[in-house]
């Protein structure tokens, strides 16, 4: 890269700062460090980073206090922020903040590198103009049955989609925040969180508030059919039976 992008890495774990910092530096980024929210405020003003990689669970001001200090009234942040602790229990806190991305800890360095590149690209003023007009649509698929999940992933790939497959409602939320899909496909019966909770949570978050969801059931009793009908999803996106072709057709129709 002609001009090194500058990253501010904020975490109270010295080993993580060293490991991720060395990795990002090797990949061509200029990295500055802070071990607390208070120090991050000082470093941000001094170094003017292009992106902040922020851990939320720190003592003192912590990531929460720091993020509050750099968030504008409209929810935008002074500098793009990649949150390094994607805890769904904090989703309500992030609802009114325009976070650029999330990664769970411990994170794979390759995943971090990909997410950093994506955030920096999207935050570049002319990035939208330089994005190809035709790109692969993205879909997150949440299905607890691994055999069915594999079938859905394979068929969506054949249909030209980029696919992220998960097994629980919690994972579905994290994947939608991280993957920025065009649609979410999920089975009515979800583990950890219900389909209704997943959809409502995503629709409360600014970056996923307009996300399209297609929900399907398998051999649903009458009570579950009513639950399906009550979801905050257009009727044409509700399928009471499992049909791969019907699911893909509905996703194509709404994206």
> What is the DSSP secondary-structure string of 51-73?
EEEE-S--STTHHHHHHHHTB-T
pLDDT of residue 90: 59
> What distance in Å separates the CA atoms of residue 200 and residue 88, rounded to the nearest whole number?
13
The number of domains in the chain is: 2
> Looking at the domain assignment, is residue 83 inside a domain?
yes
* Beta strand 6-10 pairing with 238-239: unpaired
Q: Which residue has the higher pLDDT, 7 or 105?
A: 7
pLDDT band at 151 (very low <50, low <70, confident <90, very high): very high
Residues 83 and 63 in one domain: yes
Average pLDDT over residues 202-218: 86
Residues 143 and 244 in one domain: yes
CATH of the domain at 10: 3.40.50.2300
> Looking at the domain assignment, is residue 133 inside a domain?
no
Q: What domain range is 11 assigned to?
A: 6-128
Residues 85 and 103 in one domain: yes
Residues 122 and 210 in one domain: no
Residues 88 and 20 in one domain: yes
User: What are 63-82's pLDDT values in tens digits?
Assistant: 889 988 998 888 788 999 98
Residues 95 and 184 in one domain: no
Domain stops at, among 78, 105, 128: 128
Quote the percentage of the chain above a pLDDT of 90.
33
> Looking at the domain assignment, is residue 160 inside a domain?
yes
pLDDT of residue 135: 61
> What distance in Å separates the CA atoms of residue 85 and residue 177, rounded to the nearest whole number?
12
> Looking at the domain assignment, is residue 1 inside a domain?
no
pLDDT of residue 93: 65
Residue 132 has pLDDT above 70, yes or no: no
User: What are 179-190's pLDDT values in tens digits?
Assistant: 789 999 999 888
> What distance in Å separates the CA atoms of residue 176 and residue 34, rounded to the nearest whole number?
29
């Amino acid at each position: 890269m002609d001009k090194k992008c500058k990253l501010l890495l904020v975490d109270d774990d010295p080993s993580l700062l060293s490991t991720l910092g060395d990795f990002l530096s090797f990949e061509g980024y200029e990295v500055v460090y802070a071990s607390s929210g208070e120090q991050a405020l000082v470093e941000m003003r001094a170094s003017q980073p292009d992106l902040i990689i922020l851990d939320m669970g720190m003592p003192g001001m912590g990531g929460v206090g720091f993020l509050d200090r750099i968030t504008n009234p409209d929810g935008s942040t002074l500098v793009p922020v990649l949150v390094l602790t994607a805890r769904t229990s904090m989703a309500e806190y992030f609802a009114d903040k325009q976070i650029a991305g999330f990664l769970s800890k411990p994170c794979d360095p390759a995943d971090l590198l990909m997410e950093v590149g994506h955030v920096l690209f999207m935050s570049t003023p002319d990035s939208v103009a330089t994005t190809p007009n035709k790109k692969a649509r993205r879909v997150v698929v949440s299905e607890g049955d691994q055999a069915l999940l594999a079938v859905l992933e394979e068929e969506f790939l054949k249909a030209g989609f980029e696919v992220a497959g998960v097994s629980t409602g919690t994972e579905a939320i994290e994947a939608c925040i991280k993957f920025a899909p065009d649609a979410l496909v999920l089975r009515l019966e979800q583990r950890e969180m219900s389909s209704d909770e997943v959809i409502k949570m995503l629709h409360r978050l600014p970056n996923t508030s307009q996300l399209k969801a297609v929900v399907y059931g398998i051999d649903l009793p009458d009570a579950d059919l009513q639950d399906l009908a009550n979801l905050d999803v257009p009727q044409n996106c509700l399928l009471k039976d499992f049909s791969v072709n019907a699911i893909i057709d509905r996703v194509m129709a709404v994206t």
